[in-house]
Amino acid sequence: MKQEGTLLLRRSEIARLLGIEECMAAVEHAFKLHAEGKTAPPGVLGIHTRDGAFHIKAGLLELARPYFVTKVNANYPQNTKRFGLPLIQGIIVLCDGENGYPLALMDSMEITIIRTGAATGVAANYLARPDAKVATICGCGNQGRISLKAIARVRPLALAYAYDIDESQARRFADELSEETGIEVKAVSDLAGAVAESDICVTCTPSKRYFLNREYVSPGTFIAAVGADNEEKQEIDPALMRASKVVVDLLEQCATIGDLHHAIEQGLVTKADVHAELGEVIAGRKAGRTSDEEIIIFDSTGMALQDVAAAAIVYERAIAAGMGIVLNTGE
H/E segment holding residue 259: helix 259-265
Burial label for 304, CB within 10 Å (0-12, 13-18, 19+), is buried
Q: How many helices (H) and strands (E) are present in the chain, helices listed first?
A: 12, 17
- The rounded distance, in Å, linking the Cα atoms of 202 and 299 is 11
Q: Which fold has domain 128-302?
A: Rossmann fold (3.40.50)
Sheet of 222-225, strands arranged across: 184-187, 159-163, 134-138, 200-203, 222-225, 296-299, 245-248, 276-277
In tens digits, the chain (331 residues) has pLDDT values of 455 799 999 999 999 999 999 999 999 999 999 999 999 999 999 899 998 989 999 999 999 999 999 999 998 988 888 999 988 899 999 999 999 999 999 999 999 999 999 999 999 999 999 999 999 999 999 999 999 999 999 999 999 999 999 999 999 999 999 999 999 999 999 999 999 999 999 999 999 999 999 999 999 999 999 999 999 999 999 999 999 999 999 999 999 999 999 999 999 999 999 999 999 999 999 999 999 999 999 999 999 999 999 999 999 999 999 999 999 765 5
**Angle separating helix axes 20-35 and 109-127, nearest 10 degrees:** 70
SS (H, E, C) 46-102: EEECCCCEEEEEEEEEECCCEEEEEEEEEECCCHHHHHCCCCEEEEEEEEECCCCCE
Domain range annotation of the chain: 6-112+305-327, 128-302
The pLDDT of residue 1 is: 45
DSSP secondary structure string, 125-174? Answer: HHHS-TT--EEEEE--SHHHHHHHHHHHHHS---EEEEE-SSHHHHHHHH
Which residues, including other chains, have CB under 8 Å from residue 101's CB and lie 6 or more apart?
Answer: 3, 95
Predicted model pTM = 0.94
The pLDDT of residue 329 is: 64
- The rounded distance, in Å, linking the Cα atoms of 60 and 43 is 10
- The rounded distance, in Å, linking the Cα atoms of 326 and 315 is 12
Q: Which fold has domain 6-112+305-327?
A: ornithine cyclodeaminase, domain 1 (3.30.1780)
Q: Residue 94: beta bridge partners?
A: 69, 104
- The rounded distance, in Å, linking the Cα atoms of 133 and 28 is 23
For the chain, how big is the Rg over CA atoms in Å? Answer: 19
324: three-class secondary structure by DSSP: coil
The pLDDT of residue 135 is: 98
The pLDDT of residue 3 is: 58
